A and B are shown apart, each in its own frame.
Chain A
């Protein structure tokens, strides 16, 4: 009986070793897989547009500040 228990214990330990080994290998393979390595977004911009403006406000002659307009 004692011998049988010892064998079952060894079997459990062996199974644990197998499981841990498989998980270790899987982890290494997964972490070092090229598909999981960092690849930045490769986007080139070749053209575009920006916007600027020219503005003024037309006032009545009586409201022109410091006006020296001939009238």
Chain B
């Protein structure tokens, strides 16, 4: 093995010293950029930046189940089922309990939205009986099923009112329920009330209509 000269050793040594000092400077500079306190015990200041992103979300808290019953066969006195009403024919009493006080929606996001309702079947598609006319109507009440959290729906002018405040026939096309369905937890619920008139010759069986509630963030 050839001898290693003092010059070679010196060159390596100088390189090591330069790299060490350079590395130390770079490390200190990067660490100071992170805002790390240099001496424990001293007060220091820093900033934390964050951006809260908008999320539009609406959930159905409760569906409507009118239960089981037998409709009237009297064409002059058809059975009508209404949420929040003591219904006849053996169907659920909707003044008590939790089965049919209304279909409750809650804005669980952090942005205001407008919301529409679309039925899977309209009245003609839902009822099979033909002897008498059936109907399937709804309206939108501000607040939850317990009548709390009112002020959840505003129109385009800012007034507290839903877009469907009278009985209206359901449709397979979207119907605007509320222009501005707000998100603050004290005012973030709507209740859809239903009114059904059953044809006198409606066949025996289970019947269910599904509703899609489409929502879009208000820009």
Tell me the A residues contacting B by CB distance below 8 Å: 4, 7-8, 10-11, 14-15, 17-18, 21-22, 24-25, 28-29, 32, 42-71
Contact = CB atoms under 8 A, between A and B. Distances in A.
A65 B63 contact: no
A58 B103 contact: no
Contacts of A10: 9
Interface string B1-20: 10110001100110110011
Contact of A59 (B15, B20, B22, B70): B70
A57 B12 contact: no
B19 A21 contact: yes
B50 to A, nearest CB: 9
Contact of A49 (B3, B9, B22, B212): B212
8 contacts: A11-B12, A14-B9, A21-B23, A32-B31, A53-B209, A55-B66, A56-B208, A64-B69
B22 A25 contact: yes
B64 A47 contact: no
A55 B210 CA distance: 9
**Which secondary structure characterizes the binding site on chain B?**
mixed
Contact of B4 (A7, A61, A68): A7
Interface string B199-212: 00011111111111
Interface stretch (B41-49, B53-61, B150-158, B160-168): B53-61
B203 A58 contact: yes
B63 A46 contact: no
A18 B53 CA distance: 47
A44 B53 CA distance: 6
Nearest to A47: B216
Interface in B72-113: 72-74, 77, 79, 81, 88-91, 103, 105, 109, 113
Most buried by A among B53, B70, B105, B198: B70
B26 A68 contact: no
Given A22-B19, A45-B55, A55 B206 contact: yes
Nearest to B202: A58
Contacts of A42: 51, 53
B94 to A, nearest CB: 11
A45 B56 contact: yes
Given A53-B210, A59-B69, A67-B89, 8 more contacts: A11-B8, A53-B209, A54-B63, A54-B196, A54-B211, A57-B205, A57-B206, A61-B73
